[in-house]
Structure 1
Amino acid sequence: MFLFTLVLGVLFLPEANNLKCYECLPAPSGICTEKTTECPSQDYRCLTATEVAFKGGAVLSALNFKRCTMPEQCVENSVNYGTYRVAKSSVCCNGDLCNAQMPKSKSTPNGKKCFTCEGGNCMKTLNCEGNESYCIKATKGKNVTLKGCASKLICSDQSAARVNQFSPEQISCCHGDYCNSTSRASTNLLLLLVPLLFSALFF
């Protein structure tokens, strides 16, 4: 009798439903046109994310997107070369259609200082922002092309390997203040390298 009751209980238990989330992919206009979608499994969460590129302190482009994602994709990252900075903010939530609001990126100085390049001068100080806890440089051969600040995920071994796989430029990071010293700058690859970095990491 107990076994019969147990079998009936299992049969008539309500099925656990997967989350329903808003979904949209970034369009060239930056506008996010929403639709709803059901996530593939109960492990997924609803994501909202924004990626903003700055040039000279002004917004150059902004991409917004929403989708189902795994929790480990809910991160905040940025890379900052002084004149150019790209920052991504994302938030995950666990409830049907809970990803309605876009996150706001934070950009306050954090006390970390790295070298950056202006023209041919690569000894200029850059005040890192947000979670930019590393100094970064991008090199081609022995010549440093870019210097600045970056967040931990961008400087992880796995992320750097992914970027280096797609580009002739080599990304390297260090942890101390002003640790990205030496060599000269060539800034003509900024507009190519920054989008490449984020495309390799997040799309």
Structure 2
Amino acid sequence: MDYVEVLADLDEQPVLHKSRLLLLLYAFAGENNEGAIEGITKLAKLDFLLRYPTMLKHALEVKGASTRDLSIEDHELYSVESEMVRYRFGPWDHRYRFYLNLLVGEGLIKVISEGRKVIIALTDKGFAFANKLSANSLMQIYTKRAGILKRHFDMTSTNLMNFIYDTFPEIVSLNSGKRIQL
């Protein structure tokens, strides 16, 4: 098996995606698990910045924030572990609902609908699991970046979406369904 096949297989495994989303929700949950992410669109924009560290670096620079704490490994300069596509509201992964349903089924997250608004939060079980996951050395890079996202990009879904559009106009110009590449 060659590296391309290994990476393609990895992208098809939900465990990496579920873990990344759990760590993102963990960063937004706060110390007492009282926080949440409001909306799948906001989750997608945050996950975009988490998956594409070079884009996160640029976004931090645009905001005038320090990039000193953001470490990007050499292999991440030219590739991502899992590409996203351009969709109606910007970067998107068509598997979000699948991953969220898996996490709900495992009792790790809760998805609360309030009219048209959807709130995604960790359950107590999910918070405890994400806490252990955040200490795993293999997941440290996501844990650290999710914390950076919480500090610098905890804004409304609309404001985050507009920031992404303004900061990355090349994504907005892509045809819907087109893969976002570095």
Q: TM-score, normalised by structure 2?
A: 0.26
Higher relative contact order (CA 8 A, sep 6+): 2
Higher alpha-carbon Rg:
1
TM-score normalised by L of structure 1: 0.24
Greater strand percent: which structure? 1
Higher helix proportion (structure 1 or 2): 2
